[in-house]
Chain A
Amino acid sequence: MSDGLVQILDGNTFVVSDDRGDIEASLTDPTGLFSFDTRFLSRWVLTLNGERLTALSVDDLQYFETRFFLVPGTGTVYIDAKLSVIRRRSVDNGFTEELEILNHDEKPVTLVVRLEAASDFADLFEVKDALKKKGRYATRVRSNSLELGYERETYTRSTTITATTRAKVDQDGLTFRIRIPAHGSWSTQLNVTAELPLAVAGRAPRNMQRDLTRWVDAAPSLECDWDSLKTTYHRSLVDLAALRFSPPIAGGHSLPAAGLPWFMTMFGRDSIFTSLQALPFAPELAATTLRALGEWQGNSVDDFRDEDPGRILHEMRYGEMTAFEERPHSPYYGCADATMLYVILLDEYERWTGDRKLVRGLEREARAALAWIDDYADLQGDGYVWYRRRNEKTGLENQCWKDSWDSISYRDGKLPGFPRATCELQGYAYDAKARGARLARLVWKDPELADALEKQAADLKRRFNRDFWVEDDEYFALALDPDGRQVDALTSNNGHLLWSGIVDKSKAKAVVRHLIGPRLFSGWGVRTLAEGDGRYNPIGYHVGTVWPFDNSFIAWGLRRYGFKDEAAQVAAGVLEAADFFQGRLPEAFGGYERSATKYPVQYPTACSPQAWSTGTPLLFLRTMLGLEPQGEHLVIDPALPTKIGRLELLDIPGRWGRIDAFGRGRVEVDGHARRSTTSKRR
């Protein structure tokens, strides 16, 4: 988010205002009160005697609560510093604002306190694309409350504003005429409620403070000699709590939404990646993600939604444009990776938790997901996973995580045609089949399926290492084009290939050399696209920026192939960058060389907090400590960056109960670097 904006959120309800607490939204900027993808308040301006206020400070109490300290007047000279104003705002089904005015003078004061309110009821898609509304507005003035409404046929949304003290209400806001005695104070409470049909919202109120405390307490605790990492860890836990989202269908359980402000909804890919990152810390997120995505699994061939049987959804939306099917997000299925990632998460979840009941319960969904790979994703009939949208108007062109229009290019910058088979999709397909085989043998007791999947996986790996390998420079091509030719840009996708296990051991060293070489590694992290390739741009969304989430999976991949020090190097770069963002990693930052900028440059419109960036430090803790479930045990094999001398993660939940992991940095012993490790079961 841009500087100077203050946000509080709870699940998919959030408020973005300026530092005075005021909201003055235009159609194109994402300020206001939003709930379920709709803006419920686009104007909310406080004045005293007709004058705007000035912010002294903003106190972010919790992710769902903030406090603004204000004085009357604007500009550098305070006209009347004998009054102070405190707005304490917290999010619920809308927001509650406690407004308090303190009179510091020896004389009483008479004031006209005014709150202007309006709503454009914009769909987030309209805000993103600056589109006009099709329905009509209706404002109702009642005694002590104001109702802002919007209607289009049977679609209705409204905002109700009430005050706990007497107010004069008109079409544009609420006015309080008050008198405050000498050294006295006045206060009122304003409730702004986003009214949605119960079927859409349907959530239970909860005690957010207690819920947050419980959430943080349940996670492992971290001890280390690097304060910045402790801050980052705590920030991650709290932001992850904030981003949890309880869709009406999840029965009160929560899963991670993708990110503020554009993506406070269920996303297949983002929810799965975040659940994977958080597995050693909050495994229940994975369980909910698996259940919810399983329930919404595609079931038929629907071109408008790019839906196929077995496919896992890409994105769910609740706004007006989705309601009228002007957008396909009810839900939209156009992504090529989530279905395979679903099987990967299911297996990884079982490895950590031993929860076979869930794996048995989702057998049908997992089998359908595995069948999708062969039955619907192999568009060219050559045994690879391909994508091409069928909804050509509003569907997504690039259905991989790098989903911007220019993300998939040849070295020279040219763009290939469709369909496209990006390399990481083949890696995920390989891993899904290998892990599906394990589940088939172990839990579903279907050795025939297990044999078939293992055979397919081995065959895919063999062909992949032949067809995607760029011989002259020794890395894997980004994709195959429709003619089966290599789309030969050098990208961070190579790291995901290590994570998937599809890379031949003999090729790993060369791949690693590229990942931490100067063209990809900026010093802060691995760039999405290598410097020197045609479309490289250090602030290009998927063509040069560094994505923290991407790097966390790259580090996991490096560990998988035994490159511990390189994994630690990548973790150190991104975690040091986190220090510049007070522990909250943005979606992406610039790919500039570290020595050139000294600090990581945030990508201009990066989404923050964003779930998979929030999950990034958690996955790095796993890779730095080398945590790996093996049977009923947790193997701990630390390799710490030089920055860290001591790292302890206590009470790691899993099938072993709770366990502690300790890592020590390198200590010089007789001229040799040596690490010491211990673990303790509790």
Chain B
Amino acid sequence: MTDPTTQFFEELAQRGHEPRLENASGSLRFDIANGRTTAHWLVRIDKGDVSVSRSGDEADCTIGASRAVFDRLASGRASAVAAVLRGTLSIEGDWRLLVLFRRILPVPAATTSTARPRSGRSRR
């Protein structure tokens, strides 16, 4: 079984177009450290068109984290913003891209949630 990080990026690569990123254009490189090796994932966004590669090329926004930390983000068990504040996620370059990228990170399953999108229109 693949790890959540790899799974996340591979799924993203399949998507091609992501409507939630239509306001974004630019590149993000994720440097994921695992022991002594660092894996790169380069995500290029062009008004919602997304491509993913394993390139270590320069990007508009570079994000660094350990595999353990990114696994948690990629599986919706942690918040990217809290991770930045806590110092487990580093970021260089255009912050805005990470803010927008947040939109496609999975979120915790809302097991206790009472909020549900209402189907159909409200009673009038």
Contacts and interface: CB of A to CB of B under 8 A. Distances in A.
A561 interface: no
Among A155, A198, A199, A301: residue with most chain B CB under 10 A: A199
A339 to B, nearest CB: 14
Contacts of B84: 197, 199-200
A376 B122 CA distance: 11
Nearest to B83: A323
Nearest to B66: A154
Interface stretch (A292-300, A409-417, A633-641): A292-300
A303 interface: yes
A3 interface: no
17 contacts: A197-B87, A199-B91, A199-B92, A200-B84, A249-B96, A295-B96, A302-B107, A323-B82, A325-B82, A330-B81, A364-B22, A374-B121, A375-B118, A376-B115, A378-B122, A382-B123, A459-B124
A663 B27 CA distance: 53
Contacts of A318: 85
Interface in B109-124: 110, 112-118, 121-124
B79 interface: yes
B90 interface: yes
B36 interface: no
Contacts of B92: 198-199
Given A197-B90, A199-B91, A324-B82, A381 B122 contact: yes
Interface in A366-415: 374-376, 378, 381-383, 388, 390
Contacts of A463: 124
Interface stretch (B5-13, B51-59, B97-105): B97-105
Contacts of B103: 299
B15 interface: no
B71 to A, nearest CB: 16
Contact of A303 (B88, B110, B123): B110
A383 B123 contact: yes
A248 interface: yes
A330 B81 CA distance: 6
Given A199-B84, A364-B23, 12 more contacts: A198-B92, A249-B99, A251-B96, A294-B23, A300-B107, A301-B115, A303-B115, A325-B82, A330-B82, A376-B115, A381-B123, A382-B123
A308 B20 CA distance: 15
A153 interface: yes
A331 to B, nearest CB: 7
A300 B117 CA distance: 11
A156 interface: yes
A322 interface: yes
B87 A156 contact: yes
Nearest to A307: B107
A202 interface: yes
A361 interface: yes
Contacts of B122: 374, 378, 381-383
Interface in A313-364: 318-319, 322-325, 330-331, 361-362, 364
B23 A361 contact: yes
Contacts of A374: 118, 121-122
Among B86, B90, B102, B118: residue with most chain A CB under 10 A: B86
B16 interface: no
Interface of B: 19-20, 22-23, 79, 81-82, 84-92, 94-96, 99-100, 102-103, 107-108, 110, 112-118, 121-124
B115 A155 contact: no
Contacts of A300: 107, 110
A267 to B, nearest CB: 16
Nearest to B112: A303
Interface in A103-136: none
B84 to A, nearest CB: 5
B88 A302 contact: no
Contacts of B114: 388, 390
Task: Describe B's contact surface by its main secondary structure.
Answer: loop
Nearest to B76: A300
Contacts of B87: 154-156, 197, 323
Contacts of B85: 155, 200, 318-319, 322-323, 330
Nearest to B69: A154
Contacts of A200: 84-85
Nearest to A376: B115
A160 B27 CA distance: 35
Nearest to B64: A199
Contacts of A330: 79, 81-82, 85
A156 B124 CA distance: 53
A378 B121 CA distance: 10
B18 to A, nearest CB: 12
A375 B92 CA distance: 37
A105 B102 CA distance: 65
Nearest to B108: A302
Interface string A151-194: 00111100000000000000000000000000000000000000
A295 B117 contact: no
Interface string A275-316: 000000000000000000011100111111000110000000
Nearest to A463: B124
Question: Which A-B residue pairs are the 3 nearest by beta carbons?
Answer: A323-B85, A300-B107, A330-B81
B82 A322 contact: yes
Given A197-B90, A199-B90, A301 B82 contact: no
A249 B95 CA distance: 5
A154 B88 contact: yes
B72 to A, nearest CB: 12
A381 B110 contact: no
Contacts of A365: 23
Nearest to A365: B23
A376 B116 CA distance: 7
Contacts of A319: 85
A388 B115 CA distance: 10
Contacts of B110: 300-303
B86 A299 contact: no
A362 B100 CA distance: 13
Contacts of A296: 99
A376 B114 CA distance: 10
Contacts of A299: 20, 102-103, 107
Contacts of A378: 118, 122
Nearest to A251: B96
A467 to B, nearest CB: 12
B118 A381 contact: yes
A323 B121 CA distance: 38
Contacts of A155: 85-87
Contact of B86 (A153, A249, A294, A361): A153
Nearest to B78: A325
Contacts of B20: 299
Contacts of A154: 86-88
B90 A303 contact: no
B107 to A, nearest CB: 4
B107 A301 contact: yes
Contacts of B90: 197, 199
Contacts of B89: 199
A308 B116 CA distance: 9
A655 B90 CA distance: 42
